[in-house]
Chains A and B, each alone.
Chain A
Amino acid sequence: MKYQNGRVAAILLATTIAGQAMAQEQTVTVVLSEELDVVEPCMASRSNIGRVVLQNIAETVTEIVPGSGLQPRLATSWEDMGGGTWRFTLREGVTFHDGSSFTAEDVAHSIARTTGDQIVCEIGAKFFGGIAITTDIVDEHTIDITADPAQPILPLLMSTMTVVPAETPMDSFVETPVGTGPYTFDEYNVGQNITLSHYENYWGDMPEVLSATYLFRSDSAVRSAMVATGEADIAPNIAVQDATDPATDYAYPNSETVYLRVDHEIAPLNDVRVREALNLAVDRQAFVGTVLADGTLLATGMTPPSTLGYNAELEPYGYDPDRARELLQEAAADGVAVDSSITLIGRTGNFGNVLETMEALLQMFQDVGFNMELKMFEVAEWENSYSRPFAEDRGPTLVAAQHDNANGDPVFSMYFKYASDGLQSGIQDPQLDDMIAAATAATGEEREQLWSDTFAYIHDEIVGDVMLFHMVGFSRVNPRLAFEPTIKTNSELQLAQISFN
């Protein structure tokens, strides 16, 4: 798409002539739940940073669009050259906020910076761990990206890579982020607000929203009140009990999955009957519409239904406490120590109503005869229990966790959660390791099938964990805006997608 001078000039003229009042109306105020530690594009996979930076200030190479799959963004097309190399053709006529042109060199630099070892970037750590990425600049608008080991989903991985100018320092985070996006970063009054304004030389369509202010309030009731009084226009994340106004409040699947990670190494959890009993003891349906929001889905796998490889044929475990008791008795008869004290660990503030959920689960488990106690921890302590290395003397544990995967492919979750070496995995199953490796290397329909099979294996055959829910988030939007949250709202808020009523 060509950069259209005349159109932009006309709009500029219109906004200045039409007066400040018009410009005011095209401002959006967003109130977020916590403030940003850094405004750095390579940290944009963290949701509060992503909501400000992602696709607003800094754009990614490719983009996942809900409903359409992987789409061009800064790259217009890509092709598999084999041997782990993909050739990306880059968009022409794009400039950065500082005026410099966007070329392949910028992409190469961004990749090196994000995955390099001079700074620890969230994007690099989260998506590129264990992958060596090299780039080869073919010409100004063509670049070869090679991954070792070969990644069949490299273009999908590139949807996480934000692009910054080649002059960006390799060894420190930036204070003033510069990107190719439709908005420039104006300033960050730490603790108070961040302001963005539109970038006249943006390569794409001029957005309706011309400037934005981001505010920070920790309390959901206050965020909701602010939109109600008009002090803010969007609160992308409010609690279910504050979402009481159907005219302004939207529910959306937020790509989070809640489950109980089971530690298979310690008896009695190493017995598949005991794990099955755990699953049958939970009345999942009773949570929906009560403790958790209406629209919460019962989960059978780690990734939400919109993700590739989702196995729609799997049935969530039903509520069958009698069968659960039977299973426990069977196991006890075989000498399994079913009445050992099991610790159920939860994390305070993990999601809305987490404490009620944990207490209800505790009750359900105790009802079928488990000897269980509940411990609620803050983040640091919970992390110790959730990730390896695990404590030697820990006893049988179930750790409640919430996992977010809106990136289109299970590969981002499966290794960590299920492989024998996975940092959060409680399972040591060589067959499962093989299945994960096979699916990771496959492409196209075969990949989908292999992932589906893996989910079936985990859920039905080895009963790997207690899958619970795919969660729902809530947003409140001022009626003067036309904006509906999607599954991506958990991690980004594209101002360019907002229009006015």
Chain B
Amino acid sequence: MKSFLGKRAIASAISLIGLIVLVFFLSRLTGDPTALYLPVDASLESREQFRELHGLNDPLIVQFGTYVSDLVRFDFGDSIRRSEPALDAVLRAFAWTLQLALITMSLVIVTAVIVGSLAAFHVGGVFDRITTFFSLVGASAPDFWIAIVAIVLFSVNLGWVPTSGTGTLWHWILPVAVLFIRPFGLILQVVRGSMISVLGSAYVKTARAKGVRNRPIIFVHGLRNAMLPVITVIGDQAAALLNGAVVVETIFGFPGVGKLMIDSILQRDFSVVLAAIFVTAVAIFVMNILIDILYAVLDPRIRY
């Protein structure tokens, strides 16, 4: 285990460095941000002044050198937009995203696994058809649709919950509900598919033939073997949430990392983009390590 973790940590660190270098050089290929920060009618002198102030006139290698030397002290530079350290802006936003992601994925995992397994138990039955239908509709419907309709219905018309913003528990209901739907639909389908295969397999049939009536046992045994693809997809969806749920953040005013990333990319705020990618990459890399460990736990035959 230790050597596995050790090798993995090194490999991940190398990939992280590679990612940063890649993003650094590629993002600077996308042009000069000066025009985005100054009004169109700014004079040429102001533009030059701006470039000098933010070190944009230095050759790329020099900029990279400065960046790396700051990086070792965990200084990701300052946001051009906000004149505050990029890392501060990212961590503040990431806190919100992390909370949303954790709450949503917890709900998704629990409900999708239970409902998906139940659906698989009676393939083709009424419960199966209905849950499949709703999960597919949810997974393919545009998220801003659901969000705005939900706001109009539950907030403006019925007045049950606030329209948007953060603050109380009530403010979290709609955003989490909207974020919940697509991963729920996808993972439910994967669980269902997996369980159908497992429940049709030899050892389950044997267990039943031997008179093991106890459904939970079959459930648990079957589930254990079905989970491999399921946790892979859970990881994929969690990564998507960690990258930030832009639509939900935008509509409900949650200042998460998704909106920050998009705004920073469009505004060419390079330091924030890099800092944000770094933070989410660390989270995703760690998550993938945990998933790989989980594979080995679920199926002891797996060796790396």
Direct contact of A and B (CB under 8 A): yes
Inside 8 A of B166's CB, which chain A residues have their CB?
192
Contacting pair B40 A424 (CB below 8 A) = yes
Inside 8 A of B36's CB, which chain A residues have their CB?
379-380, 383
Q: Is B31 an interface residue (CB 8 A)?
A: yes
Contacting pair A231 B49 (CB below 8 A) = no
Contacting pair B253 A231 (CB below 8 A) = no
Contacting pair B251 A387 (CB below 8 A) = no
Q: How far is the CB of A103 from chain B (nearest CB, A)?
A: 28
Contacting pair A222 B41 (CB below 8 A) = no
Inside 8 A of A45's CB, which chain B residues have their CB?
39
Q: Is B8 an interface residue (CB 8 A)?
A: no
Contacting pair B83 A38 (CB below 8 A) = yes
With contact pairs A191-B92, A380-B31 given, residues A37 and B163 touching in the complex (Cβ less than 8 Å): no
Q: Please report which residues of chain B, range 152-170, place their CB below 8 angstroms from some CB of chain A when the two chains form the complex.
A: 152, 155-156, 159, 162-166
Q: How far is the CB of A119 from chain B (nearest CB, A)?
A: 7
Q: Please report which residues of chain B, range 27-46, place their CB below 8 angstroms from some CB of chain A when the two chains form the complex.
A: 30-31, 33, 35-46
Contacting pair B43 A129 (CB below 8 A) = yes
Contacting pair A218 B251 (CB below 8 A) = yes
Contacting pair B162 A231 (CB below 8 A) = yes
Cβ-neighbour of A222 out of B42, B45, B148, B267 (below 8 A): B148
Q: Mask for A119-161, Cβ within 8 A of B = 1, else 0?
A: 1101011100110000000000000000000000000000000
Contacting pair A125 B164 (CB below 8 A) = no
Contacting pair B253 A215 (CB below 8 A) = yes
Inside 8 A of A216's CB, which chain B residues have their CB?
253
Tell me the bound Cα distance from A46 to B39 in angstroms: 8
Tell me the bound Cα distance from A229 to B82 in angstroms: 32
Q: Is A483 an interface residue (CB 8 A)?
A: no
Cβ-neighbour of B156 out of A117, A122, A225 (below 8 A): A225
For A217, the closest partner residue in chain B by CB is: B253
Q: Which of B35, B41, B49 has the most CB of A within 10 A?
A: B41
With contact pairs A215-B253, A222-B164 given, residues A120 and B38 touching in the complex (Cβ less than 8 Å): yes
Contacting pair B40 A215 (CB below 8 A) = no
For the complex, count residues of B whose C-beta is within 8 A of A.
Answer: 46
Inside 8 A of B41's CB, which chain A residues have their CB?
125-126, 129, 412-413, 416, 423-424
For B44, the closest partner residue in chain A by CB is: A423
Q: Is B151 an interface residue (CB 8 A)?
A: yes
Q: Mask for A368-393, Cβ within 8 A of B = 1, else 0?
A: 00000000001111011011000000
Inside 8 A of A221's CB, which chain B residues have their CB?
148, 151-152
Q: Is A291 an interface residue (CB 8 A)?
A: no
Q: Is A496 an interface residue (CB 8 A)?
A: no
Tell me the bound Cα distance from A226 to B30 in angstroms: 37
Inside 8 A of A423's CB, which chain B residues have their CB?
40-41, 44
Q: Is B268 an interface residue (CB 8 A)?
A: yes
Q: Is B240 an interface residue (CB 8 A)?
A: no
Contacting pair A378 B266 (CB below 8 A) = yes
Inside 8 A of A379's CB, which chain B residues have their CB?
36, 266-267
Tell me the bound Cα distance from A316 to B220 in angstroms: 76
Contacting pair B164 A124 (CB below 8 A) = no
Q: Is A190 an interface residue (CB 8 A)?
A: yes
Contacting pair A217 B46 (CB below 8 A) = no
Contacting pair B164 A217 (CB below 8 A) = yes
Q: Which 5 pairs of residues, A with B, have the shortest CB-CB distance?
A: A191-B255, A129-B43, A125-B46, A125-B42, A383-B35
Known: A126-B39, A190-B255, A229-B162. 14 other contacts (CB 8 A): A117-B49, A120-B53, A125-B39, A126-B41, A129-B42, A130-B43, A130-B45, A217-B251, A219-B250, A222-B148, A229-B163, A231-B164, A380-B266, A386-B40
Q: Which chain B residues have a beta carbon within 8 Å of chain A's beta carbons? A: 30-31, 33, 35-46, 49-50, 53, 81-83, 89, 92-93, 96, 144, 148, 151-152, 155-156, 159, 162-166, 250-253, 255, 259, 266-268
Q: Which chain A residues have a beta carbon within 8 Å of chain B's beta carbons? A: 35, 37-38, 45-46, 117, 119-120, 122, 124-126, 129-130, 172-173, 190-192, 215-219, 221-222, 225-226, 228-229, 231, 378-381, 383-384, 386-387, 401, 412-413, 416, 423-424
Could you list some 25 contacts between A and B, CB below 8 A? A37-B81, A37-B82, A38-B81, A46-B39, A119-B53, A125-B38, A125-B43, A125-B46, A126-B39, A129-B41, A190-B255, A191-B92, A191-B255, A219-B148, A229-B155, A379-B267, A380-B35, A380-B36, A380-B266, A383-B36, A383-B40, A384-B31, A384-B35, A401-B40, A423-B44
